[in-house]
A = this chain, B = another copy of it.
Amino acid sequence: MSKESWLPTLKTDTPEEGYDLAVKLARKAVGMTQPDENVRKELRPVYANNADSLTFASQVVAINFQTVAAANNYWNE
């Protein structure tokens, strides 16, 4: 496991950190598809001001959170 990995583990100490990791996972694929940070910054106001785009972003976080939560056995012990 490389120290430089952006994703060394799916384990987190708390559900909240797990949720943050889900957000990170959602954003990573966006960055891999559009590597230009300037373009991503220009797009941000587009979807941050559109109701359906915000729901869509929340959906992808929800899917990733399913994965992270399962990986942590839902933080039950």
Copies per complex? 6
> Given the known A-B contacts A15-B8, A55-B30, A62-B60, are A74 and B75 also in contact in the complex, defined by CB atoms under 8 Å?
no
Q: Which residue in B2, B54, B60, B70 is a CB contact (below 8 Å) of A58?
A: B60
A37 to chain B, nearest CB (A): 13
| Number of chain A residues close to chain B: CB under 8 A | 55
Closest residue of chain B to A34 (Cβ to Cβ) is B48
CA A61 to CA B27, docked complex, whole Å: 11
Q: List 8 other contacts, CB 8 Å, given A46-B51, A52-B52, A62-B63.
A: A9-B15, A10-B69, A29-B61, A30-B57, A43-B49, A47-B52, A66-B67, A69-B70
